[in-house]
Amino acid sequence: MRPDSEAELAQMIRGATVPLRITGGGTRLHPDDNGLRLDMRGITGITLYEPEALTLVARAGTPLAEIEAALAAEKQMLGFEPDPRPGSTIGGVAASNASGARRISAGACRDAMLGVRFVTGEGEIVKNGGRVMKNVTGYDLVKLMAGSRGQLGAITEIALKTMPMPPLRVTLRLSGTGIEGDLAAMVAAMGGPNDVTGAGRLPDGKVILRLEGLPGSVELRAQALRRVLQPFGQIEIVEGDDDFRRLREFQMASTSSLWRIVLRSSQALALLSQLPGRYALDWGGALIWAEAPPDWTPLLPAGARAARLRGKAAQLPVADPVTARLQQGIRAKFDPRGILGREQ
């Protein structure tokens, strides 16, 4: 099914008698997704863009590439840096709270969402938030919908804040250290005053740190950061941020069972010792992308979260039963029939 309007979508959900799988470009489908596909790509188009106000409103089925092209024409961008998967829609990005390396400085997708429209599991149309910050009374459903993966409602429209595109990007590459030194170097870089906008480790063991901004500022910060990193290993400074594209490509190109693990960076070293295959780090070590055999399951430290993104690896049980009970209660209010699945 492919609705062309919010009203048609609401009618389809009201009349549904089997579970629905809400999809956009289908780029983030979960291995266990099932149900009748509800294709959101017919609800498309940028409905408002005010570059001077750093605000854009788009329907959920709008291709991410279309939004990024419109922003680039005004030398703007989405601060949370969603990965540019072919076919991605802005609704799928929001529903999965897809946030890239710049999350450590600009915040996640949910932090850029100003307003949202969605249809609940009962076919009711809901609007929450607006086009400016702090435009929410009562519960902030905008943040709740980010990352909900279509289990609370089918997102139909999103208002986003944008940000200016930096004139210059440079990447500092650090090599010649072990994983313990790599983690310490990222902590040192992110803890200083140099406004690092990306901190990761590639599968080949190279640490990458990104600086962005006006040329004079970037050059000064790059030299200051070089001095911070000198005790850790060999340093190379290159213009651009192609290394962060390689970091994104690891999770997209991997053909093995793939896990996404979020934890405190201070917990990363102990968990990395468990990993049986290749891995990459983002968010200064707080996000791990790990390849593993199908029968592998991570032993998580307290507070960590893991999700299987690809392959047939065992699904982890919910670590916190209290959180699970709250999530089930919220979902029952928005979708009492249990008709909605994931949105991707």
Tens of each residue's pLDDT in the chain, 344 residues: 899 999 999 999 999 888 988 988 776 665 555 678 889 999 999 999 999 999 999 999 999 999 999 999 999 999 999 877 788 999 999 999 999 999 999 999 999 999 999 999 999 999 988 765 555 566 789 999 999 988 899 999 999 999 999 999 999 999 988 999 999 999 999 999 999 999 999 999 999 999 999 999 999 999 999 999 999 999 999 999 999 999 988 887 767 788 899 999 999 999 999 998 899 999 999 999 999 887 888 888 888 988 887 765 455 555 577 878 888 899 999 999 999 875 44
> CATH number of the domain at 6-164, please?
3.30.465.10
Domain ranges across the chain: 6-164, 168-246
* Three-class SS of 233-267: CEEEEEECCHHHHHHHHHHHHCCCEEEEEECCHHH
Provide the pLDDT for residue 344.
46
The C-alpha atoms of residue 27 and residue 308 are separated, in whole angstroms, by 15
HSE (CB half, 13 Å, CA atoms) of 116? 27
| pTM of the model as a whole | 0.87
149/29 Cα distance (integer angstroms): 10
Q: What Å distances lie between residue 145 and 53, 156, 269, CA to CA?
A: 24, 11, 32
3-state secondary structure of 329: helix
Q: What is the pLDDT of residue 266?
A: 93
Rounded distance between C-alpha atoms, residue 95 and residue 253, angstroms: 22
Q: Does domain 168-246 bear CATH number 3.30.70.2190?
A: yes
Helix ranges (H only) for the chain are 6-15, 64-73, 90-95, 103-106, 109-112, 141-145, 179-190, 215-229, 242-253, 268-272, 321-334
C-alpha–C-alpha distance, residues 146 and 95, integer Å: 5
Q: Which pLDDT belongs to residue 10?
A: 94
